[in-house]
Amino acid sequence: MKIRTTLIISLMFLFGAITPTYVLADDECKKIEDLDKRAECYEAKIDKKESEYNSTTKQLDEIRTQKDSINQKIQALSSELNVTQGQIDEIDSEVDAVQAELEIINGKILDRQQKLGDKINLRNRIIRSYFIKRVESEITLFLMNNGFENASFNYAFSKAANNETKKLIEGLNFEISNFEADKAESLELKNDLENSLASLAKLRADLATKKNQQQEEFKETVADETKTINKLSNLQNEIDELSAKQQDILKQKYGDEYGSVGDFESPTASTPSPPFKPAFAAFSYGAYTHYKGMSQYGAKGRADKGDDYKEILKFYYKVDAKEKDDFPSKLCVEGYGDLSFSKYLYGIAEMPSDWPDEALKAQAIAARSYAYRYYKAGKCICTTQSCQVYSKSKSDNPPSKWKSAVDDTEGIILDNDIVAYYSSTTGGYIDNVGWDTECGSSSCWPSKAYEKSSPWFYKAWYTKSYNNSDSCGRGHPWLSEKEMADILNAYVVWNKGNNSDRDHISPVTTNCWGGDPYSLDEMADKAGDYGTKYTKVTSIDVEVSNGGYTSNVTLRTDNGTVSVNGETFKTVFNLRAPGYLSIKSKLFDMEKRE
């Protein structure tokens, strides 16, 4: 038994002490005489070192996550124009921190590489010894002197030694494989970080370029804005100087009503075909709108696309809807006295009751919010489009869908004291919102404007108003080539003529408008007196500003190309076009049909 115990201890020393000697050149363990305790010392040292090595993979995973986060931030900032230097510095700091962590891990990996070199040599030596040297060791020969008993023990020893050798080889292979994987991961992370830094450097350069471009664009915008303000100011001064009759023409043709859809949806009005060729017509995008708040047809379009009432209101008013604690039970309504809010809202005749539920809920909340502001101001609310259209008959017998929209949103109004303006059709652009399109910009306007189903979205106007079909004897919106040239001649007289000549700029259809207009020939002669006379317009195009208005109208004529400011063109067109032909919106188009 003594020999066997000594042999087992020797084996433990052989297979336990050799490994730490290669891996950990530790004098502390060597000084321990007791072999069991020395083996325990080496085992503790190995466990500690292996634990340190095994944490490398986890650290690399954490760095991979940090690196991905950095790249995401760089990609996000790359799509923005308003990136601050502080944001770039923050990413710089994160990259520096990750690089520092990676350097520490690389140091560990290098140390591990040196130690594993010894382990690899040991593994190779064991493999050679295991597969080539198949004879008994000197220790085995020494033990065989005792015959059968020693032969049996030799068999057990060989089996144990072989098993231990296999385990040692497997352990070494596993550790070497982990090292190679961690080393490859570390190199990949290093390359990724270098790419991140390159992206960051490119971002800096791009931002510097964009910043310079923005500064130049800002200067140009300020200059353009100043010019536009001056032009509008001059235009308003010119309008103020017009005769009372001319101002009345502009008021009626442009329209100062803020029309909403109404209780019943108007039928789609098709544009009559021109009775002659070539023919020109002005088409307005939207009409009778203040360009504020919610587009009712836009709300319908958004509901049809799947938006709920909260999303609809958030887009148009930029605030959330919330329930009020101080909501009153009564509201003063002109001509009806105090009505309960629900009774009043049941009678709101501003949207067809067969529209989508979410659009009806948005309308109910907008109407309730608008009325709530009147209550807070201590005023009675009117019942016309000057406020909100109220119908007692509808209130007494509200349609089920509209009643549900009112009941389901009871007590809910818009936050932040928002005055809930709304109108039927804005043309796809709202001053406090921007482009009301599926892509959120003018790039998909007008084809994907949410309110494109409105009969007033793109319309050539030739009747007195949207609810008055009087056409002044002209049942179509088309101008002949000579009439289109007349509009341009009127512009020359408007732009260069004296007040006396400008007084004669009005529709030639005096049976509807009265006044003392120049005939088409007289207007052409007057334009010739001021330097330019036009007899033929060959084509006409418009430019639309990203600010939601027609900025310029370009006409090609028998006397060259002429560019006219959009607002000025609209004013002159409305003053001069015959009958009730008019441009209702600041956003308009001109068509020529041949």
**DSSP state string for 472-514:** TT--S--B-HHHHHHHHHHHHHHHH--HHHHTT-S-S-HHHH-
CB 385 within 8 A of CB 257: yes
Does the pLDDT of residue 210 top 90, yes or no?
Answer: no
What number is the average pLDDT over the span 291-317?
97
- Please report which confidence band the pLDDT of residue 270 belongs to, taking 50, 70 and 90 as the band edges: confident
The pLDDT, as a whole number, for residue 57 is 56
Q: Phi/psi zone of residue 509: left (φ > 0), alpha (ψ -120 to 50 degrees), beta?
A: beta
The pLDDT, as a whole number, for residue 317 is 96
**Token couple for 106:** 């690389």
Of these ranges, 170-184, 456-470, 477-491, the one predicted with the greatest mean pLDDT is 477-491
Contacts of 263 (CB under 8 A, 6+ apart): 349, 350, 351, 352, 353, 389, 391, 394
The pLDDT, as a whole number, for residue 187 is 72
The pLDDT, as a whole number, for residue 555 is 97
* Kind and range of the H or E run holding 19: helix 18-23
* 119 against 1, higher pLDDT: 119
Per-residue model confidence as pLDDT tens digits over 22-73: 333 445 676 776 666 766 676 666 656 555 555 555 566 667 676 666 766 6
Residue 435's SS3 state is strand
- Please report which confidence band the pLDDT of residue 506 belongs to, taking 50, 70 and 90 as the band edges: very high
What number is the average pLDDT over the span 333-362?
96
Does the pLDDT of residue 148 top 60, yes or no?
Answer: no
Residue 243's SS3 state is coil
The pLDDT, as a whole number, for residue 14 is 39
The pLDDT, as a whole number, for residue 517 is 96
- Please report which confidence band the pLDDT of residue 346 belongs to, taking 50, 70 and 90 as the band edges: very high
Does the pLDDT of residue 306 top 70, yes or no?
Answer: yes
Does the pLDDT of residue 526 top 70, yes or no?
Answer: yes
* Kind and range of the H or E run holding 333: strand 330-333
Strands 294-295 and 422-423: parallel
CA 395 to CA 392: how far, in whole Å? 5
Per-residue model confidence as pLDDT tens digits over 189-203: 767 767 776 776 776
Omega cis (within 30) before 398:
no
Q: Which long-range contacts (CB under 8 A, 24 or more apart) does 246-252 make?
A: 246/503, 246/505, 246/506, 246/515, 246/575, 249/506, 249/507, 249/513, 249/515, 249/574, 249/575, 250/571, 250/574, 250/575, 252/464
* 218 against 592, higher pLDDT: 592
Does the pLDDT of residue 220 top 70, yes or no?
Answer: no
Task: State the CB neighbour count (10 A cutoff) for residue 582.
Answer: 28
* 3 against 317, higher pLDDT: 317
* 518 against 173, higher pLDDT: 518
What number is the average pLDDT over the span 278-295?
94
What number is the average pLDDT over the span 401-427?
94
The pLDDT, as a whole number, for residue 328 is 86
- Looking at the chain, the number of H-run helices and the number of E-run strands are 19, 13
* 171 against 290, higher pLDDT: 290
The pLDDT, as a whole number, for residue 188 is 75
- Please report which confidence band the pLDDT of residue 529 belongs to, taking 50, 70 and 90 as the band edges: very high
CB-based burial label for 467 (10 Å; 0-12, 13-18, 19+): exposed
Of these ranges, 118-122, 249-253, 556-560, the one predicted with the greatest mean pLDDT is 556-560
Does the pLDDT of residue 10 top 80, yes or no?
Answer: no
- Please report which confidence band the pLDDT of residue 518 belongs to, taking 50, 70 and 90 as the band edges: very high
The pLDDT, as a whole number, for residue 168 is 57
CA 302 to chain CA centroid, nearest Å = 16
CB 514 within 8 A of CB 475: no
**Token couple for 185:** 């991961």
What number is the average pLDDT over the span 193-221?
65
Q: How many CA atoms lie within 13 A of 68 on its CB side?
A: 6
Task: State the CB neighbour count (10 A cutoff) for residue 420.
Answer: 24
CB 426 within 8 A of CB 315: no
CA 407 to chain CA centroid, nearest Å = 33
The pLDDT, as a whole number, for residue 205 is 72
* 106 against 366, higher pLDDT: 366
Residue-range domain boundaries for the chain: 2-217, 250-258+265-284+461-593, 294-444
CB 486 within 8 A of CB 520: yes
- Please report which confidence band the pLDDT of residue 275 belongs to, taking 50, 70 and 90 as the band edges: very high
CB 136 within 8 A of CB 155: no
Average pLDDT, the chain: 80
Residue among 500, 496, 520 nearest 576 (CA): 520
What number is the average pLDDT over the span 393-419?
95
For residue 335, give Cα distances in angstroms to 339, 351, 363, 408: 11, 22, 23, 28
**Token couple for 19:** 């490994």
The pLDDT, as a whole number, for residue 143 is 47
Widest pairwise Cα distance in the chain: 143
**Token couple for 382:** 């009117």
DSSP state of 133: -
**Token couple for 397:** 């017998």
Does the pLDDT of residue 489 top 60, yes or no?
Answer: yes
Per-residue model confidence as pLDDT tens digits over 435-455: 999 999 999 999 999 999 999
This prediction has a pTM of 0.62
106-115, 187-196, 560-569: least confidently modelled range: 106-115
CA 587 to CA 286: how far, in whole Å? 8
- Please report which confidence band the pLDDT of residue 332 belongs to, taking 50, 70 and 90 as the band edges: very high
